[in-house]
Amino acid sequence: MLQKIPNYIKYIFTNVLFLFLYILFFRILFYQFFAQLDQVSSSEIQKAFWLGIRFDLKLAVLTFFPLAGLILIVNYQFFKKKIYKKIANLYLILSYLILTLFFLFDFGYYDYLSIRLDASSLRFLSDLKISSQVLVESYPIYKGILGLLLLCFIIYKLSKFIYSAYTNQTNILSKKIKTIYFISTVLLLSYGIYSSITHYPLRWSQAFFSKKNQVNQFALNPVLYFFDSFAYRNEGIDMKTFKDYYPVMANYLNLPKDHVSFERKVVFDATYTKKPNVVIVMMESVGVKPMSYFGSPISSTPKMDSIIKKSLVFSNFYVHKSGTAPSVFASVTGLPDIDGVRTASRNPLIQDQRIIFDQFKGYEKLYFLGGSANWANIRSVFQSNIKGLKIFEEGSYNTEKRADVWGIDDYELFKESNKKLEKLTKENKPFIAYIQTASNHMPFTVPDVQESYKPLNKKEVSDALLEKSGFKSIAQLNALRYLDFNIGKFLERAKESGYYDNTIFAFFGDHNTAMKRTENFTKEYDLNIQLQHVPFFINAPKFVKTGTMTKNGKLIDLFPTIASLAKVNHTNYTLGNNLLDSLPKKTASFVYLKSKGEPTVGLIQDSLYYSKTNISKTTGLYNLNTKEVKDIKNEYPSKAKKMDSLLTAYYHATKYLYLNNKKKKQ
């Protein structure tokens, strides 16, 4: 029977089989090293694996389909003309190479953000130089290039071997039989793409069958999902929906009911005779989960633990979107980053905003970072909105020892920042400074010794303890410990330099680092909001009482809170609140993430989390204090409706303010 099948048909299906096995190999690698499915039931793993196989087969067929079309058209001529052999070899080499690169990038992307490769990953191409350096410093790129060259050679040999194996065709078929084979092959390949016996083809959304995010991520095929996710472009302003939900936001923020206005003037009866300084420290890749203060079994942040005990800490504080650029944008502008493909900082149409940072009259305004402010267009976010701002970046400091792609390390950054702040203190000039750290970021570059800091080695931390804490590597733990050391050292320098007592220090994490599932914060891990839950604490004994505030907070609340604490008269044009104020009585945290394979908005209020996908409008209500991931919206329809209204109001108000919060021309 097989002998009667034309060789060019055998050639097609042989190559599809090899492609499928190659793609399946990467699925097995992902399962072995990245999926983290230890605590998942075997039935869910089996279902995810079966779905994944179907996705992989679909990709294999799609990959070979263009060449299969050519082969079916030329049939026997495919093995008689050398040009077709060259085309086949080149096509297969490129196909395997592109697939390999996709999967390798997917591994790194998932290791960093715990989501598979999607269209939003293209934002890293905007800073190609930085992204390339991160790759070189974090992974064995040069060895990888050699490996890819070797792969190309192997594929070339394999392609030649398969081609040669089918060159001898003795029997010649009639046109009728060839037509039958043509139609049968097209139908089989089409079914491999359709991959379903129902009215609907296999779609990416079917991968999201589980309540456990890591199961769904395992089921996906990153190449297919990458191209499918291009459908989720950013929505424009829906003015009708915005106006329909403005009353909800007006009631929540105590805004005018009869017309649209987000303007709230904050004027104090009396201000400080001596203006307090403000220092805001953005802690790279720090969430609550890895910190020992919040329950990590490893003593990962002893310095911050002791500082927090003498600070006002907000235990339920969330950033809106995982990623450094979104958090910098939100913290400075007071508007969440809800860009679905890139980041709001890269959108030139929304750079002009009326912000609170700019309203610190009589203050020296400074921004410190170890690398370049050109990264992610952050320079524009600061300079477009803050008059008189001084940016200190790589090339601005007296002492510079470049650590890695992110420039000078945090030790040098804090040391150089302190020099500038000490100088301003001696000149009796109040200041507000924003310091952006970076050492707690891949490639996790830390020194062998830095004063009292010394990285731990593998013998000093057992694999069991590292696993229990959720850290993926000892390097990840050491980077956090290094940041912790530098923050403690920075406050020591501030005291020695004479500005500590009259300064409000605000520390926040820009997002959590990607971690394994642990006993702590399991619900947030399963619902994919672990990256958003970060520490926020204010260390200023002279200005704020020590304690813990459990009300829900969000990153855009940063400046309204700090400005009020410093008694700076200002006008708030944003969606942020003063967390020390009594209004609104029931606060909420607004998040933007990926859920069920599409952009999703979420609202956290008290112990409840309500989410809604942007495209399919799939909703869910969950209790964060219970172990089981159970959708309870049908049990509490009234609560779900109220949270849905506030969530929708937040989302559309943000869209509106992007383009309607511009500074007035003077």
pLDDT tens, position by position, 231-276: 555 667 889 999 999 999 999 999 999 999 999 999 999 999 999 9
Q: How confident is the model at residue 36 (pLDDT cuts 50, 70, 90)?
A: confident
487: nearest Cα among 524, 557, 535, 553: 535
249: nearest Cα among 618, 640, 577: 577
Whole-number mean pLDDT of the chain? 91
- Sign of torsion over alpha carbons 83, 85, 88, 93: negative
3-state secondary structure of 431: strand
Q: Are strands 589-595 and 598-605 parallel, antiparallel or unpaired?
A: antiparallel
Residues 516-568: pLDDT tens digits?
889 899 999 999 999 999 999 999 999 999 999 999 999 999 999 999 999 99
> What's the rounded mean pLDDT across residues 159-171?
83
Crossing angle for the helix pair 637-660 and 239-253, to the nearest 10 degrees: 110
pLDDT top residue among 634 and 384: 634
% helix, strand, coil for the chain, step of 5: 50, 15, 40
Count CB neighbours of 105 within 10 A. Answer: 16
Query: What is the C-alpha separation between 151 and 46, in angstroms, rounded?
Result: 30
pLDDT value at residue 126: 63
CB 501 within 8 A of CB 540: no
Q: Does residue 116 surpass a pLDDT of 70?
A: yes
Q: Are strands 364-369 and 570-572 parallel, antiparallel or unpaired?
A: unpaired
Query: What is the C-alpha separation between 152 and 92, in angstroms, rounded?
Result: 9
pLDDT value at residue 666: 47
pLDDT top residue among 204 and 183: 183
Q: Does residue 199 surpass a pLDDT of 90?
A: no
pLDDT value at residue 213: 75
Q: Both tokens of residue 269?
A: 């009866």
pLDDT value at residue 574: 95
pTM of the model as a whole = 0.78
Q: Does residue 214 surpass a pLDDT of 90?
A: no
pLDDT value at residue 582: 77
pLDDT value at residue 310: 97
pLDDT value at residue 232: 54
CB 512 within 8 A of CB 287: yes
> What's the rounded mean pLDDT across residues 22-31?
96
Count CB neighbours of 475 within 10 A. Answer: 16
> What's the rounded mean pLDDT across residues 35-45?
88
Kindly state the percentage of the chain with pLDDT values over 70: 95
Residues 378-413: pLDDT tens digits?
888 898 889 999 999 988 998 788 888 888 999 999
Is residue 591 packed enough to be buried (19+ CB in 10 Å), middle (13-18) or exposed (0-12)? buried
Q: Which residues contact 511 (CB under 8 A, 6 or more apart)?
A: 285, 287, 319, 321, 322, 323, 324, 327, 531, 532, 534
pLDDT value at residue 265: 96
Query: What is the C-alpha separation between 538 and 314, in angstroms, rounded?
Result: 9
pLDDT value at residue 211: 67
3-state secondary structure of 110: helix
Query: What is the C-alpha separation between 236 and 239, in angstroms, rounded?
Result: 9
pLDDT value at residue 136: 73
CB 421 within 8 A of CB 494: yes
pLDDT value at residue 542: 95
CB 293 within 8 A of CB 302: no
Query: What is the C-alpha separation between 56 and 61, in angstroms, rounded?
Result: 9
Query: What is the C-alpha separation between 214 and 44, in angstroms, rounded?
Result: 11
Q: Residue count of the chain, please give it.
A: 666
Sheet containing strand 598-605, strands side by side: 589-595, 598-605, 608-613, 619-623
Q: How confident is the model at residue 227 (pLDDT cuts 50, 70, 90)?
A: confident
Is residue 85 packed enough to be buried (19+ CB in 10 Å), middle (13-18) or exposed (0-12)? middle
Q: Both tokens of residue 299?
A: 């003593």
Angle 139-144-149 from CA coordinates, rounded to 5°: 165
> What's the rounded mean pLDDT across residues 339-367?
89
Q: Which residues contact 115 (CB under 8 A, 6 or more apart)?
A: 109, 217, 528, 594
Q: How confident is the model at residue 170 (pLDDT cuts 50, 70, 90)?
A: low
Count CB neighbours of 512 within 10 A. Answer: 27
Residues 280-333: pLDDT tens digits?
999 999 999 999 999 999 999 999 999 999 999 999 999 999 999 999 999 999
Q: Which of 160-164, 388-392, 428-432 has the highest mean pLDDT?
A: 428-432
pLDDT value at residue 634: 96
CB 365 within 8 A of CB 432: yes
Q: Does residue 128 surpass a pLDDT of 90?
A: no
Beta strands (DSSP E) in 251-381 are: 264-266, 277-283, 312-318, 364-369
Residues 437-495: pLDDT tens digits?
999 998 999 999 999 999 999 999 999 999 999 999 999 999 999 999 999 999 999 99
> What's the rounded mean pLDDT across residues 1-18?
86
Q: Helices (DSSP H) in 114-174: which residue ranges? A: 128-138, 141-165
Q: Which phi and psi angles does 452 have, rounded to 5°?
A: -85, -5
pLDDT value at residue 586: 85
The helix (H) or strand (E) run that includes residue 302 is: helix 302-308
Long-range contacts of 582-586 (CB under 8 A, 24+ apart): 583/254, 584/252, 584/253, 584/254
- Sign of torsion over alpha carbons 104, 107, 109, 111: negative
pLDDT value at residue 419: 97
pLDDT value at residue 58: 95
Q: Does residue 16 surpass a pLDDT of 50?
A: yes
